[in-house]
Amino acid sequence: MTMAKVIVVTSGKGGVGKTTSTAALGAALAQTGKQVCVVDFDVGLRNLDLVMGAERRVVFDLINVINGEAKLHQAIIRDKRLDNLSLLPASQTRDKDALTEEGVAGVIEEMRDKFDYILCDSPAGIERGATLAMRHADIAVVVTNPEVSSVRDSDRIIGLVDSKTQKAENDERVEKYLLVTRYDPIRADKGEMLKVDDVLEILSIPLLAVVPESQDVLKASNLGMPVTLGSPNSYAARAYTNAARKITGENVSVEIPQDTRGIFSKFFARKAA
Amino acid sequence: MRFLDFFRNKGGSAPVARDRLQIILAHERATLSANPELLATLREEILAVIARHMPIDRDKVNVSMDRGDDVSTLEVEVELPLEGGPNPLHVAAE
Ligand SMILES: Nc1ncnc2c1ncn2[C@@H]1O[C@H](COP(=O)(O)OP(=O)(O)OP(=O)(O)O)[C@@H](O)[C@H]1O
Ligand SMILES: [Mg+2]
């Protein structure tokens, strides 16, 4: 088996959709047939288990594995819907200091030959938790909402990806992609929200996908299903599915959600980035 | 989903979210705050008891959990290295 690609899902700013996107992208990658594990790095505030619908089944977590209290295979929870999708939960009771640099390195190393993709759900912020989550990344998915503080924090995070990751320290390149979430085409049209082009121009990294503000996402979280499993035909699910295909190397054009109230409703595809 | 929920929910997802949260938070408040390492401790002690009577490979132990609203199941699966192939022993606790 080939060595896994490690993907960090990061943002700087909190609440922009990292955990939602980790679950949806992870499921979408698994739906293409890849072996996928999503890892919750938000120690003390785990939520990925809830969004994945596995909260009742958590026994051990990342910190237990790091401390040698459980083996990796004992802590990993296999998804009930997709057997090539797994979750490594974060600890709910320890604090961020329980994550150690060597511990994280050891766990990622052990996982590399067992999966095709390892997705690390980063905590918010720019401190230790966030830098440890991105430490081993080959790919960084920068989750951004089209508003000023989120874009500014994303810029900051991109700087960290370019300096604090192992690849950066070895003069190698981490692939960076922009994932715009909670995009409201009506408000963007009215000039009340930054447009995708504005965000792209400011951050100047390639666009992975644009996920609209969507009830389907909320509903999927309520049910404990990544949106690509819960509402596979929704626009949000399509955006994540196309993002997953792009990550696997397919040449997919990025769709920008359009205002659907007009006569020519629907969305049209557009080349971007 | 339970039978009655079907009538209560009217297709909305929020009631499911509320039920899921009530269950998981009740568990977190009860067990975790009292003893966050309860599961690890239980596993260690169960394994120690079994190990007193037969050799076991600690890597071949799986512990799974299902937290319900009335009962939770903790399942400890231990592979016993006997002649004639693996012979898993289940220890279930409620
Ligand atoms: N496309 C979307 N449409 C509507 N709601 C969304 C969308 N994406 C995320 N949300 C909602 O936004 C909230 C925050 O999402 P999420 O928890 O994924 O963010 P996060 O970046 O992981 O937050 P934190 O920084 O606290 O870890 C959640 O309530 C989620 O359901
Ligand atoms: Mg999160």
Looking at per-residue pLDDT, the higher value among A229 and A258 belongs to A229
Q: What is the pLDDT of residue B68?
A: 83
Query: Which helix (H) or strand (E) segment is A8 a member of?
Result: strand A5-10
Average pLDDT of chain A?
92
Kindly tell me if the per-residue pLDDT of B85 is higher than 60: no
How far apart are alpha carbons A39 and A22 in whole angstroms?
Answer: 9
Instruction: Identify whether the C-beta of residue A151 lies closer than 8 Å to the C-beta of residue A202.
Output: yes
User: Tokens at residue A180, please?
Assistant: 């715009």
pLDDT at A265: 45
Question: If you take atom 25 of ligand 1, which residue's CA is the nearest one?
Answer: A14
Instruction: Find the mean pLDDT for residues A248-272.
Output: 69
Per-domain boundaries in chain A: 5-267
For residue A223, report the distance from its CA to the centre of ligand 2, in Å: 17
Q: Residue A1 — pLDDT band, cuts 50, 70, 90? A: low
Which pLDDT tens digit goes with each residue over A46-96?
999 999 999 999 999 999 999 998 999 999 999 999 999 999 999 987 777
A164-210 pLDDT, tens per residue?
999 999 999 999 999 999 999 999 888 888 999 999 999 999 999 99
> Which residues from chain B sit within 8 angstroms of residue A234, using beta carbons?
none
Rounded distance between C-alpha atoms, residue A91 and residue A236, angstroms: 29
Give the other-Cβ count within 10 Å of A233's Cβ: 7
Q: Tell me how far the alpha carbon of residue A104 is from its chain's centroid.
A: 18
- Nearest chain A residue to B75 by CA: give it: A59
Cα–Cα distances in angstroms (integers) from residue A246 to residues A32, A183, A207, A250, in the given order: 11, 20, 10, 5
The answer to whether A76 and A87 have CB atoms below 8 angstroms apart is yes
User: Which chain B residue shows the shortest CA-CA distance from A71?
Assistant: B59
- How far is CA A72 from each of CA A79, A136, A181, B59, rounded to the nearest angstrom? 16, 18, 32, 10
Domain A5-267 superfamily per CATH = P-loop containing nucleotide triphosphate hydrolases (3.40.50.300)
Mean pLDDT, residues B33-62 taken together: 80
Residue A239 has phi, psi (to 5 degrees) of: -60, -45
Whole-model pTM: value is: 0.87
Among the partner-chain residues A55, A71, A93, the one whose CB lies closest to the CB of B59 is A71
Query: What is the per-residue DSSP string for A204-239?
Result: -S-EEEEEEP-HHHHHHHHHT--HHHHSTTSHHHHH
Residues on chain B touching A87 (C-beta within 8 angstroms) = none
In single-letter form, the type of residue at position B63 comes to V
Determine how many CB atoms are found less than 10 A away from the CB of residue B34: 8
Q: Do A222 and B40 touch (CB under 8 A)?
A: no
Q: What is the DSSP letter of B24?
A: H
- Structure token digits, residue A11: 């943002």
* pLDDT higher than threshold 50 for residue A271: no
B13 close to A (CB below 8 A): yes
Inspect the interface and report whether the beta carbons of B63 and A58 lie closer than 8 Å: no
First to last CA, chain A: 32
Q: Taking CA atoms, what residue in B is nearest to A74?
A: B62
Ligand nearest to the CA of A220: 1
Q: Between A and B, how many CB-CB pairs are < 8 A?
A: 55
ipTM of the complex: 0.74
Q: B28: distance to nearest CA of chain A, Å?
A: 9
Residue B87 banded pLDDT, cuts 50, 70, 90: low
B70 CB within 8 Å of a chain A CB: no
Under 8 Å CB-to-CB from A55, ≥6 apart: which residues? A49, A224, B20, B24, B67
Give residue A178 CA to ligand 2 midpoint distance, Å. Answer: 17
